[in-house]
């Protein structure tokens, strides 16, 4: 079955296709965008090409029970997701304030989806079609499959599978799982007996119904004890590998939530197949009159080249969702997609990005990974690159070079993030950096050191600051060699577990020394499924069960953030308070090293509090950057 257009969203669309009834309906919190960067597009195409009739209900009105009936009762079931982002993250900033925009909704307007969309949509379906199977999926359900700490409620919540009373939950990248589930339902198997599919969760009433499992701390235990929570999270974290992962069981009252081991990541051939479908690479035309969908802008002319990440940053949920084993598409598949993009009417000659979670990971970290799985208590890159890691950028550079030579393509950018420590671990780092700077950097290169203080980097699972310094040196040395003026834009994070005011001040001193003031700083955002969130909630490092300092007080978090932008006049009071509290009055004054002037000493003609000088060019509208210069100081 194949459709060279958008899948049906109305009864009229179904009639035009000659379909009287759908096999499956996908209910999603995002507007409908038929592009491989969006889970709904991929899953709908996978089911369609497996022979099933699929329709989409995008952003149903949760206040109107009839909105879920737009396409009638499906023959086999509903798949439900919140969209590409957890609905709570989509709606609220780290300060828990309501956001102004929803980039995945018409015109970027808020209000098209509810909080905790997965639960709300499931409830709507149950009220309308009581006995129709419901399968949860997507990032929100995936990361909330166990009992979890919820930052917005500031408490431990139950598994979304338990709370929703859905039949199944698909976690991770779900292409193979949804097809197997669909085939089982089509063969007449009751949803409650589909218990064999890896990468899924289900519920049982008794432990007698399962075997060969590992029982972890219950919802009640981790709700009452932070130590139990930390231990429980470590057990979950250790089993998120498709090679050695065990069946995990967590009790919730009189029911048990069962997680099967993770599904194997797709092979190269399977990933190529997923990307071979006739995606429209745009939002549905119905949204045009509503202002379009802003989220398409960044991905419309971009290419996803791989999945997974063995970087294992503590604050990232990829370990829990996509896993640590890298799977990449073939050059042929990627080049075919690049050619399709080059022929689009609105294409201007620039591929915005070729990458994935980490652009320069193109294969598993080592040969052992595919046979024995990822190491439980050892990271590939932290605290330093593992001796068994197979470091090689040749395939990555060759791929970029092939894309660059396609007719109609002027430039190929890499914007999804380069793992700088992986580049530095390559013996050919000079050659790699020269190629990237010459061909794939758009004036500025975004990298993610996150912090510069070693004790904070330890909790982040990031390499020590010296490695980043070496990378920066190489970047500017390379640009001087090739005669280009390009810049580094580092992503930085404040208030991560382990970071106190002294750590924040050290990072601010580093920024002062390199004459860089970030336009934006990301406060640590506790979201389900990350090691850092477990630290935030418990005050313990689940890896060692040792105590870790956690900045929870709102005032301190505001001070840490303000320190990284100490030159901003509106941050003066917070910076002053932080320096006094930390005993760093030496940074208040008129000397070059000082962050701010003493109170009452600000010059009327200078609104900036930054050392009595105007902000550097690094604060210009072109972004926060460093100019390459032989005399630069660090």
Residue range 521-575, pLDDT digits in tens: 899 999 999 999 999 999 999 999 999 999 999 999 999 999 999 999 999 999 9
Select from 420, 442, 464 the last residue of a domain.
442
Higher pLDDT, 633 or 320: 320
- Closest listed residue to residue 462, CA positions, set 472, 470, 471, 452: 452
Q: Is residue 364 part of a domain?
A: yes
Q: Residue 278 domain-assigned?
A: no
Residue 339's contacts (CB-CB under 8 Å, 6 or more residues apart) are 406
How far is 466 from 463, CA to CA, in rounded Å? 8
Stretch 230-252: mean pLDDT, rounded? 96
What is the four-CA torsion angle of 496, 500, 503, 507, rounded to 10 degrees? 60
Q: Taking Cα atoms as reference points, which of 538, 512, 514 lies closest to residue 593?
A: 512
Whether pLDDT at 609 is above 60:
no
Apex 18 CA angle, 15 and 23, nearest 5: 90
Rounded to whole angstroms, the Cα distance separating 151 from 96 reads 9
> Does some domain include residue 367?
yes
Same domain, 421 and 476: no
Q: What is the model's pLDDT at position 3?
A: 75
Q: Which two tokens stand for residue 293?
A: 């969908």
What pLDDT is recorded for position 2? Answer: 66
Structure tokens at 240: 């998120």
21 pLDDT higher than 90: yes
User: Average pLDDT, whole number, for the chain?
Assistant: 92
The domain that contains 502 carries what CATH number? Answer: 3.30.750.200
Taking 70 as the threshold, does the pLDDT of residue 378 lie above it? yes
Report the pLDDT value the prediction gives residue 416, as an integer from 0 to 100: 77
Q: Which of 225, 240, 259 is the last residue of a domain?
A: 259
Give backbone dihedrals phi and psi of 508, rounded to 5 degrees, phi first: -65, -40
Q: Is 181's pLDDT higher than 60? A: yes
Mean pLDDT calculated for residue range 364-386: 89
The more confidently predicted of residues 44 and 382 is 44
What pLDDT score was predicted for residue 602? 55
Statement: residue 11 has pLDDT above 50: yes
pLDDT (0 to 100) of residue 605 = 40
Instruction: Choose the weakest-confidence range: 134-148, 267-281, 514-528.
Output: 514-528
- Do 407 and 493 reside in the same domain of the chain? no
Residue 610 has pLDDT above 70, yes or no: no
Q: 447 with 476, same domain?
A: yes
What pLDDT does residue 612 have? 34
Closest CA to 29 of 93, 131, 95, 102: 102
CB 62 within 8 A of CB 14: no
pLDDT reported for residue 521: 86
494: nearest Cα among 529, 520, 528: 520
Same domain, residue pair 428 and 449: no
Residues 522 and 592 in one domain: yes
**Are residues 466 and 504 both part of a single domain?**
yes
133/173 Cα distance (integer angstroms)? 20
Considering all CA atoms of the chain, what is the largest pairwise distance in Å, rounded to the nearest integer?
79
Q: Report the C-alpha gap between 95 and 523 in whole angstroms.
A: 9
Structural domain contains residue 280: no
Q: Are 110 and 51 in contact (CB under 8 A)?
A: no
Residues 451 and 438 occupy one common structural domain: no
pLDDT surpasses 50 at 63: yes
In this structure, the number of other CB atoms found within 10 A of the CB of residue 190 comes to 10
Which secondary structure element, helix H or strand E, spans residue 491, and what is its range? strand 487-494
Q: Please, which residues have CB within 8 angstroms of residue 607's CB and are 6 or more apart in sequence?
A: 569
Helix/strand/coil (H, E, C) string of 166-216? CCEEECCCCHHHHHHHHHHHHCCCCHHHCCCCCCEEEEECCHHHCCCEEEC
Domain count, the chain: 3
Give per-residue pLDDT as tens, 120-147. 999 999 999 999 999 999 999 999 999 9
From the list 469, 395, 407, 401, the residue with the least C-alpha distance to 435 is: 401
Looking at residue 601, its pLDDT comes to 62
User: Lowest-pLDDT range, 103-117, 289-303, 379-393, 552-566?
Assistant: 379-393
More confident call, 444 vs 621: 444
Shared domain check, 35 and 184 = yes
For residue 232, tell me if it sits in a domain: no
Same domain, residue pair 422 and 468? no
Same domain, 77 and 169: yes
Query: In this predicted structure, what is the pLDDT of residue 621?
Result: 30
557 and 437: one domain? no
Where is 444: in which H helix or E strand? strand 444-450
**CATH (domain of 405):** 3.30.750.210
Q: Residue 613: is it exposed, middle or buried by C-beta count within 10 angstroms (0-12/13-18/19+)? A: exposed
Residue ending a domain, choose from 442, 468, 502: 442
The pLDDT-based confidence of 382 (bands split at 50, 70, 90) is: confident
Range of the domain at 157: 11-205+254-259
Per-residue pLDDT at 110 exceeds 70: yes
Write down the pLDDT at residue 633: 33
Residue 605: other Cβ atoms inside 10 A? 5
Let me know: does 423 contact 360? Beta carbons within 8 Å: yes
Query: What is the C-alpha radius of gyration for the chain, rounded to an integer number of angstroms?
Result: 25
Q: CB count, 10 Å around CB of 348? A: 9
In a domain, 25, yes or no: yes
pLDDT for the residue 603: 47
CATH code of the domain in which 95 resides? 3.40.50.280
The 10s digit of each residue's pLDDT in 75-95 is 999 999 999 999 999 999 999
Please write the tens of the pLDDT for every residue from 472-498: 999 999 999 999 999 998 899 999 999
244 inside domain:
no
Q: Which of 283-292, 508-517, 574-583 has the lowest mean pLDDT?
A: 508-517
Give the integer Cα–Cα distance in Å for 303 and 330: 12
pLDDT for res 618? 40
Residue 276 lies in a domain: no
Report the SS3 class of residue 255: strand
Same domain, 606 and 617: yes
Q: What is the mean pLDDT of residues 203-216?
A: 96
Q: What share of the chain has pLDDT > 70, as a percent?
A: 94
Pairing of strands 33-34, 282-283: antiparallel
């Amino acid at each position: 079955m194949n459709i060279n257009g958008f899948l049906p969203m109305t009864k009229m669309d179904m009639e035009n296709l000659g379909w009287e009834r759908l096999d499956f309906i996908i209910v999603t919190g995002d507007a409908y965008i038929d592009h491989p960067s969006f889970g709904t597009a991929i899953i709908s195409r996978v089911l369609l090409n497996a022979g099933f009739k699929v329709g989409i209900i995008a952003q149903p009105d949760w206040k109107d029970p009839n909105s879920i009936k737009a396409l009638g009762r499906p023959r086999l079931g509903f798949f439900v997701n919140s969209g590409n982002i957890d609905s709570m993250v989509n709606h609220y900033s780290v300060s828990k304030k309501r956001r102004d925009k929803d980039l995945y909704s018409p015109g970027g307007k808020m209000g098209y989806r509810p909080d905790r969309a997965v639960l709300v949509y499931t409830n709507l379906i149950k009220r309308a079609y009581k006995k129709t199977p419901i399968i949860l999926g997507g990032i929100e359900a995936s990361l909330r499959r166990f009992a979890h700490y919820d930052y917005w409620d500031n408490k431990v919540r139950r598994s979304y599978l338990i709370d929703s009373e859905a039949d199944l939950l698909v976690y991770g990248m779900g292409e193979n799982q949804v097809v197997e589930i669909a085939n089982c339902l089509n063969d007449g198997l009751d949803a409650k007996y589909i218990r064999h599919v890896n990468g899924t969760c289900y519920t049982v009433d008794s432990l007698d119904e399962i075997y060969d499992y590992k029982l972890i701390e219950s919802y009640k235990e981790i709700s009452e004890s932070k130590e139990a929570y930390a231990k429980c999270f470590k057990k979950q974290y250790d089993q998120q590998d498709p090679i050695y992962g065990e069946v995990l069981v967590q009790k919730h009252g009189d029911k048990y939530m069962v997680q099967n081991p993770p599904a194997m990541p797709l092979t190269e051939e399977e990933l190529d197949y997923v990307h071979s479908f006739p995606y429209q690479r745009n939002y549905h035309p119905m949204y045009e009159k509503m202002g379009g969908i802003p989220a398409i802008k960044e991905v419309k002319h971009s290419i996803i080249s791989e999945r997974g990440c063995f970087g294992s940053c503590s604050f990232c949920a990829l370990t829990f969702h996509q896993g640590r084993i890298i799977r990449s598409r073939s050059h042929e598949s990627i080049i075919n997609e690049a050619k399709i993009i080059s022929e689009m009417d609105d294409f201007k000659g620039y591929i915005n990005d070729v990458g994935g979670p980490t652009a320069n990971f193109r294969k598993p970290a080592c040969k052992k990974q595919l046979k024995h799985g990822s190491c439980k208590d050892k990271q590939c890159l932290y605290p330093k690159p593992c001796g068994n890691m197979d470091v090689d950028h040749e395939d990555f550079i060759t791929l970029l070079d092939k894309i660059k030579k396609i007719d109609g393509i002027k430039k190929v950018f890499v914007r999804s993030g380069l793992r700088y420590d992986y580049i530095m671990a390559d013996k050919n780092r000079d050659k790699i950096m020269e190629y990237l700077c010459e061909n794939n950097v758009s004036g500025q290169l975004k990298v993610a050191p996150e912090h510069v203080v070693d004790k904070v980097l330890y909790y982040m699972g990031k390499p020590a600051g010296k490695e980043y310094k070496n990378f920066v040196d190489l970047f500017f040395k390379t640009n001087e060699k090739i005669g280009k003026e390009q810049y580094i834009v580092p992503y930085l994070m404040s208030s991560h577990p382990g970071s106190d005011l002294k750590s924040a001040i050290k990072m601010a001193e580093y920024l002062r020394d390199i004459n860089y003031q970030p336009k934006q700083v990301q406060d640590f955002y506790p979201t389900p499924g990350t090691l850092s969130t477990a630290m935030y909630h418990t005050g313990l490092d689940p890896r060692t069960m040792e105590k870790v300092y956690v900045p929870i007080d709102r005032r301190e978090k505001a001070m840490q953030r303000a320190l990284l932008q100490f030159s901003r006049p509106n941050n003066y009071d917070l910076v002053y308070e932080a320096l006094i509290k930390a005993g760093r009055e030496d940074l208040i004054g008129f000397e070059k090293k000082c962050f701010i002037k003493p109170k009452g000493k600000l010059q009327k003609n200078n609104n900036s509090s930054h050392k009595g000088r105007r902000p550097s060019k690094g604060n210009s509208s072109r972004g926060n950057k460093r100019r390459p210069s032989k005399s630069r100081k660090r």
